[in-house]
Amino acid sequence: MSASITLSRRLASQLLHLAQISPDAEVCGIVSQKNQQPQRCYPIKNIASNPATAFLFDPAEHISTMKTLRERGEEILAIYHSHPSAPATPSALDVANVADENVLHFIISLSTKGILELRAFNIAQNQATELRITL
């Protein structure tokens, strides 16, 4: 694992907090960047039919978030979501549903014996490569 991504403690804490307040359903959203620096977390409602094991962005909230990013001069750095009862690694469904291979994926796990886990991945050509997160 040679590649890395640097996140502020504030941003990492926000992602972990969002996962904690929804322990029975996957939370999801976008992490933005500006000038190649991570900026903000934008939660988006999960409308998946089974939100305990999958996520699907609410289309209206997704569009609204993209508009806000454009207005702020930001772009997508990563898609984030949580795994309430699975490890912080991409599932087969996560890998299959990648729409843009240039966007990173942050996964938060709640299942690691009471310890929250946040991991970052680049998913391309059906392969997930982990990036080291530094704070």
* 60-89 average pLDDT score: 97
| Mean of all residue pLDDT scores within the chain | 94
For 1-135, list the strands marked E by DSSP.
Answer: 4-6, 28-34, 37-44, 75-83, 104-112, 115-124, 127-134
| 59 three-class SS | helix
Over residues 24-46, the pLDDT tens digits come to 999 999 999 999 999 999 999 99
Total domain count for the chain? 1
Give the range of the structural domain holding residue 16, as residue numbers without chain letter.
4-134
Over residues 2-26, the pLDDT tens digits come to 699 999 999 999 999 999 999 999 9
H-type alpha helices, 50-91: 59-71
Domain CATH for 23? 3.40.140.10
**53: its two tokens:** 């094991």
The two counts, helices (H) then strands (E), for the chain are 3, 7
Paired with 80 in beta bridges are: 29, 106
Phi and psi torsions of 29, nearest 5°: 170, -160
What pTM does this model have? Answer: 0.94
